[in-house]
Structure formats: C-alpha cells, structure tokens
Amino acid sequence: MTALTLALGDLTREHADALVNAANSGLLGGGGVGGAIHRRGGPAILAECRALRAGRYAKGLPTGRAVATTAGDLDARWVIHTVGPVWSATEDRSALLASCHRESLRVAGELGARTVAFPAISTGVYRWPVDDAARIAVDTVRNTPTSVDEVRFVLFDERAYEAFARRIG
C-alpha cells in the first residue's frame, strides 16, 4: 500500500529518495520548480541532462515520459524529470498528465526508490487548473501498482495544497 502524503513548501528542501521535476522536453532548465531544482541541485544535474540530450533523447524527452538523473546537491538520490502537457481548453490532454505520474513511478520503481516527492506538474507555466491536476495526480498514483512506499505531493502555495488535500480526503 502506497501512502499519499502532503507538504506545503519548496520541493528542493524536501528529503526523499527521488524528487520529480516538472521539466520541459529540452531538459536544459527553465523556470518554476525545475529552475529551483537546477539552482539548488548544482551543475551535476544539468550535466546529466545534457548527456541525455546528446544520446537517448536527442530530440528531447516526449511529453508524458520520465527519465532520472543524479540529484546533485539535493537531499535525494535522484531527480526524475517528467514533461507535463501544456493546458488546452480545446483538447483533452489528461492522459498525458496521468502518464507523467505513471512513468515517474515506473522509473522510481526501477531505481528502487521508496519515497518520491512530486510537485503539482503542469500547474505553473503550463497553466493546468490545479483542482483538475490534483484529481489526475491523486487518482493516477492511487491506480498505479508500484513498489514506492510513500508518494508526497509538495505544493508551493495554500491553494494547491488545499486542492490536493480535498482530493486525498
């Protein structure tokens, strides 16, 4: 049974086996939580991202997929980078947001991570409404068989925290 827990604050201050990054497909940094991860985690993370871009993901990491790197100076063993979909009012991209959570858990399981901390993927720069993102994130984690013991959602503001808290119940 995987425990779903919540925290309010900065993901880069959390201790977990793996921290999930809401990345873009270029994997080379950006704003939001990913910017914070690279800032606090130091250059080792970016170096591994560049190596991925030079090899397996020359065209970038596709939306809905996940890949791990070192966590550098963060209090974790790995960062799992996943690319959320940009919110669209005209196209239902929910399956891709669900896939981010499923794929991140799959990668975490392969690594042997027992604790994984997620941000609210796609709810920042990618503008996904937070209540809907909470529904997709929580339901997907609940319905994905995994060896991970704890999935912690780390929410940056009260509004996101309340949305996830309502969904977890």
Instruction: Find the DSSP H helices in the chain.
Output: 32-41, 43-54, 94-111, 130-142, 158-168
Query: Per CB under 6 A, which of residues 6..45 are in contact with ligand AR6?
Result: 10-12, 22-24, 30-34, 36
Distance between CA atoms of 20 and 45, rounded to whole angstroms? 13
10 Å CB burial of residue 161 (0-12, 13-18, 19+) is buried
Check binding of 100 to ligand AR6 (CB under 6 A): no
- When binding is defined by CB under 6 A, the residue of 63, 99, 122, 144 that contacts ligand AR6 is 122
Minimum CB separation of residue 8 from ligand AR6 in Å reads 9
- The answer to whether 97 and 128 have CB atoms below 8 angstroms apart is yes
Q: How many residues bind ligand AR6 (CB under 6 A)?
A: 24
String of contacts with ligand AR6 for each residue 46-85, x by CB under 6 A: --------------------------------------x-
Residue 118: half-sphere exposure toward Cβ, Cα within 13 Å? 35
- The answer to whether 35 and 46 have CB atoms below 8 angstroms apart is no
Minimum CB separation of residue 20 from ligand AR6 in Å reads 10
Check binding of 124 to ligand AR6 (CB under 6 A): yes
Minimum CB separation of residue 119 from ligand AR6 in Å reads 4
Which H or E run includes 3?
Answer: strand 3-8
- 30 torsion bin: left (phi>0), alpha (psi -120 to 50), beta (else): left
Check binding of 97 to ligand AR6 (CB under 6 A): no
- When binding is defined by CB under 6 A, the residue of 99, 160, 161, 164 that contacts ligand AR6 is 160
Q: Which residues bind ligand AR6 (CB under 6 A)?
A: 10-12, 22-24, 30-34, 36, 84, 119-126, 154, 156, 160
